[in-house]
Structure 1
Amino acid sequence: MPEAASPSSRRPPRARYRELTLREIKDLAWEQVAEGGGAALSLNSIARRMGLTGPALYRYFANRDALLTELVREGYRGLAEAVDAAVPGAGEADPELRLRAFVHALWTWSAEMPHRYLLLFGAPVPGYAAPEDTFEQAFRPMAVLFDVLAELPPGPAETRAVSGGPLRDQLAGWVDARGGEPLPPEVALRAVRCWARLHGLISLALVGQFTATGVDPEEVLRVELDALLAGH
C-alpha cells in the first residue's frame, strides 16, 4: 500500500517554494545576527547571497524591521518551547524541582543560542522598536515562572516591599496588563527579582565578562538558585 503524501507535499509548488525561500531568508538573517548582532541585518546582503534582486526579497519582507520582527518572534517561540519542554507541570513535580528545571532550560537555551538570546535580551537594535504583540510571546516563559513561584512561599523582604506604596500598584498593573490568573504582588516581585538575577548572570556570561575572573558562571548560577529558593 503506497504511503500517504505528507502535508507539505500536498501543497502547491508555489507555496512550497515560498516556504523554503522564507526559511532560507531567516537562516541567512540569523547568520548575520550571529556575526554582528541585530544591527548587522541587511536585506540587500541576504538577497545577494540568495541570487535575488532586492525587490524580489521585499515580496517576503517589506523592510529590515519586518524581518527583524519575525526573528524576534521566532526567538521567543524557541525559548518558550524549550521552557515548556523542560519544566514539569503543576502536580508533576515539587516547585523546587520545577524552578531548577526552569533555570536550567533558560541557561541551556541561551548557551546554545547566544545570538538569539542577545537579540531578545541584549542591547536594543538602533532605530528598531518591536511591535506590542511580540511581548505576548515574550511573556510565555514568564508565565511558567509565575506558576512555579506561586507554589513557593515568598521571602520576608518581598512581603515587606509590597505591603504598600507605588511598587505594589506597579506590580499589580503589570500582572493585569499581561492577563491570566490574578497573582499576589509578592509573587510577582519574586518573579521580577528572579528574572533580573538570571538574565544579569546569563548576559554577563555570554559576553565573556567572567573569562578574566576565572570564575565559572555556572557555579555562580547554582549559588543564585539556592538563594532564590531560600527566599533571599
Structure 2
Amino acid sequence: MVRPSKKTQIPNLQEAIKDMAWKQIAEFGAAALSLRAIARELKITAPAIYNYFPDRDALVTALIIDAYTSFGDYQIVSRDAQAGDDLAGRLRAIGYSYRQWALDYPQRYQLIFGTPIPGYKAPLMEILPSAARSLSALVSVIDELRIANKLQTENFPSIQPGYESMFDVWRGFAGDYDIFSLSVAMIIWSRVHGLVSLEVSGNMPPFGVDGSALYRFEIDSLIKQFIKNNFKGVLLCTQFLLPVYESVRFFLCRFLRITPCVRVCRLRNLKASLVSILALRRITSFGQRPFGKKSRR
C-alpha cells in the first residue's frame, strides 16, 4: 500500500481511527472490529495504526474510555443545568439524560454495557476512572440528599460484610462520597439501566411506540421513593399514568387473553385508581394541600 502524501495525510489520525472504528461497530458489531479493515478504509498502512493502537484490544479500551467519558459529561451537564437546591429536578435531569445518551449513541452504550467481546479482557484500572465518573452525577445528588436529611431509605438493605473494600476502590475514582450514598445510587442506577437496556436492544414491553412514558413514570417513582416529602414529584408522575393504563389494557387484552368478565373487572379497578390520583392532582392544582397539616406539639 502506498503511503499517503503529506497533502492527503489525515490531520488527527488517532481520532480518525476511532471514528472509523465506531462506523465499523455500527455496521458489523464490536466483535468484528479489525485494525486492517480500518487501515483500508482510511487508505493508510497497518503500521500507521499500530503507532497509536498496538492491537485491537488497545483500540477497544480507548473506545470504552471515550464512551464512558461522553456518558458522564452528558449527565453532569444536565445536572448542572438545574438549580442547585432543586435536588429532585437534578435527579430527574440526570435520569432523562441517561436514557437520551443511550438512544443517541446506541453503539457506545452497547459497547460499555452490552455483550462482551470474545477474547477481550478489559483492563479494570484503566477503565475504572471514566466508568466511576459516568455515575458521579447521580452519586453526588444522592449524597446531597443524604446530607440535607432528605434521603428516604427506610428498610434499605445494609451493605454486607466484605463488600466495603469494593466501595472504597470506587470512591477512589468517583469522589469521597459516603458508602451509603453509593449503595443507594447503585440501586437507582440498576432500575433505570434495566429499562434503557431493554429499549436500546429493542425488547421494550408493550408500553407504547417507545419507552418514554414508562421511563418517565419510573423516574418519578424513584423520586417519590427516595426523596422525603416530595409532593411535586408525586403529582408530576400522574400525567404519565393514563398512557400506562392504555398500555396495560392492551397487554391484558392481547397477550394474556383473560376472560371478558375478569378483564373488565381488572381494568375498571385500575382505571378507578388512576382517576382518583388525577382527581388529587386537580385538587392540589388549586393550591389545596393533598394531606392535612401536622399538628404542632
How far the C-alpha of 1:91 sits from its partner, in A, is 6.6
Q: Which amino acid aligns with 1:183?
A: D
Q: Which amino acid aligns with 1:174?
A: M
Q: Name the counterpart of 1:6.
A: none
Deviations 1:166-185 (A, max 9, x none): 3xx52x32321122324142
Are 2:47 and 1:52 equivalent residues in the alignment?
no
Deviations 1:87-110 (A, max 9, x none): 128972411001011011111111
Q: Which amino acid aligns with 1:206?
A: V
The size of the alignment, in residue pairs, is: 210
SS of aligned partner of 1:176? helix
Q: Using CA pairs below 8 Å that are at least 6 residues apart, which structure has the higher relative contact order?
A: 1
Are 2:136 and 1:147 equivalent residues in the alignment?
no
Q: Name the counterpart of 1:22.
A: 14
Q: Is the 8 A contact 1:75 1:120 kept in 2?
A: yes
Structure 2: distance between partners of 1:115 and 1:40: 13
Q: Is the 8 A contact 2:10 2:16 kept in 1?
A: no
Structure 2: distance between partners of 1:184 and 1:26: 36
How far the C-alpha of 1:219 sits from its partner, in A, is 1.3
Out of 110, 131, 134, the residue aligned to residue 118 of structure 1 is 110
SS of aligned partner of 1:156? coil
Q: Is the 8 A contact 1:99 1:148 kept in 2?
A: yes
Q: Is the 8 A contact 1:82 1:109 kept in 2?
A: yes
Gap regions ≥5 residues in structure 2: 1-5, 227-297
Deviations 1:112-160 (A, max 9, x none): 00101110111111111222221111111322211111214132131xx
Runs of 4 or more above 4 Å deviation = 211-215
Are 2:16 and 1:39 equivalent residues in the alignment?
no
Deviations 1:28-61 (A, max 9, x none): 1000111233212100101111222222322221
Tell me: CA distance 1:97–1:22, structure 2 relative to 1, closer, same or farther (3 Å): same
Q: Is the 8 A contact 1:176 1:182 kept in 2?
A: no
Are 2:208 and 1:210 equivalent residues in the alignment?
no
The structure that has the greater radius of gyration is 2
Deviations 1:164-221 (A, max 9, x none): 643xx52x32321122324142x22221111111111111101111276646311111
Worse overlay, 195-204 or 32-41: 32-41
Q: Which amino acid aligns with 2:153?
A: G
Gap regions ≥5 residues in structure 1: 1-13
Matches within 5 A, 1:74-89: 74-88=66-80
Q: Is the 8 A contact 1:76 1:120 kept in 2?
A: yes
Out of 206, 220, 231, the residue aligned to residue 225 of structure 2 is 231
Quote the sequence identity (%).
34
Q: Is the 8 A contact 1:72 1:120 kept in 2?
A: yes
Q: Is the 8 A contact 1:204 1:210 kept in 2?
A: yes
Q: Is the 8 A contact 1:47 1:54 kept in 2?
A: yes
CA-based RMSD of the aligned residues comes to 2.3
Structure 1: distance between partners of 2:167 and 2:96: 25
Q: Which amino acid aligns with 1:71?
A: L
Worse overlay, 51-60 or 207-216: 207-216
Structure 1: distance between partners of 2:22 and 2:168: 34
Structure 2: distance between partners of 1:122 and 1:154: 32
